[in-house]
Amino acid sequence: MLDLAIIGGGPAGLSAGLYATRGGLKNVVMFEKGMPGGQITSSSEIENYPGVAQVMDGISFMAPWNEQCMRFGLKHEMVGVEQILQNDDKTFTIKLEGGKTETAKAVIVCTGSAPKRAGFKGEDEFFGKGVSTCATCDGFFYKNKEVAVLGGGDTALEESLYLANICSKVYLIHRRDEFRAAPSTVEKVKKNEKIELITSASIDEVYGDKMGVSGVKVKLKDGSIRDLKVPGIFTFVGLNVRNEILKQDNGQFLCSMEEGGQVSVDLKMQTSVSGLFAAGDLRKDAPKQVICAAGDGAIAALSAMAYIESLH
């Protein structure tokens, strides 16, 4: 039996693994079906992580985390988790893809979040064929071409700046006339000659053919439609938490949840179920910042260690 199972390998999961193994837990496994690093690896630049003065892309930023966190004996299982169940003896069963299972005394869930779909016509049809949620992954395909970006938060504006370095022009579309992003980022966007702001507007439709997107119809404030002949659009309209593995066979969740699907936790990252912890974007009121997720992971690991100690 595992002492501790960590589900998810982003900043929260890696930090939890580091603290748990360095704190003396011997049998700790982090289940992450991809390469560890989490959603931040798709970010084009990180400039606000304390102590890291150099501006870095997400992949470069996360690379040393992996190495450091494995140093004390954290094991990485590259397999997807389908469900977490609690057993009669208060231990946990982790159902893995392929029908295998593991049992653990305690579990920390750090499954994070995924980009939301915006819900406009043509989005699903052209997803991956001109509609993208990752500028660092797909920006290169639009070198010296015009693209559109949808959103008004930090991610949308930061990725617009990134795309402006690659593309000939970026149309930034936002439903309000004010942006939610940091004032310094808004200022940079407004000063960038390659970025045109289209505010108080929404996307009516993305259209194209079997080759992919060929244009975006934008509904303006006065109700008129502006047709942008662009081969690509990047959408940044928020995040959905990944809570599916906590769903039980009866349709209920294993622990108490908030209205938006986030997990209810206390200041120790403890859920309503003893021995089950949640950290990072998944937990209630998460600021969805790397530093906060890392802090959550450390707290959850310390709490899990205290819980496991109390079992003896």
Q: Per-residue pLDDT tens for 89-112?
A: 999 999 999 999 999 999 999 999
Identify the pLDDT of residue 47: 85
> Residue 288 pLDDT more than 90?
no
Q: Which helix (H) or strand (E) holds 83?
A: strand 81-86
Question: What is the rounded distance in angstroms from the CA atom of residue 166 to the CA atom of residue 45?
Answer: 14
pLDDT at 162: 94
pLDDT of residue 294: 97
| pTM for the structure as a whole | 0.85
% of the chain surpassing 70 pLDDT: 100
pLDDT at 84: 98
pLDDT score of 212 more than 90: yes
As a whole number, mean pLDDT of residues 294-306 equals: 98
Q: What is the mean pLDDT of residues 68-86?
A: 96
- Euclidean distance between CA atoms 199 and 220, whole angstroms: 8
Across the strands, what pairs with 147?
Answer: 170
pLDDT for res 13: 98
d(CA 39, CA 10): 7
- Residues 173-211 pLDDT 10s: 999 999 999 999 999 999 999 999 999 999 999 999 999
Residue 260: band (very low, low, confident or very high) from pLDDT cuts 50, 70, 90: confident
SS3 265: coil
Catalytic residues: 134, 137-138
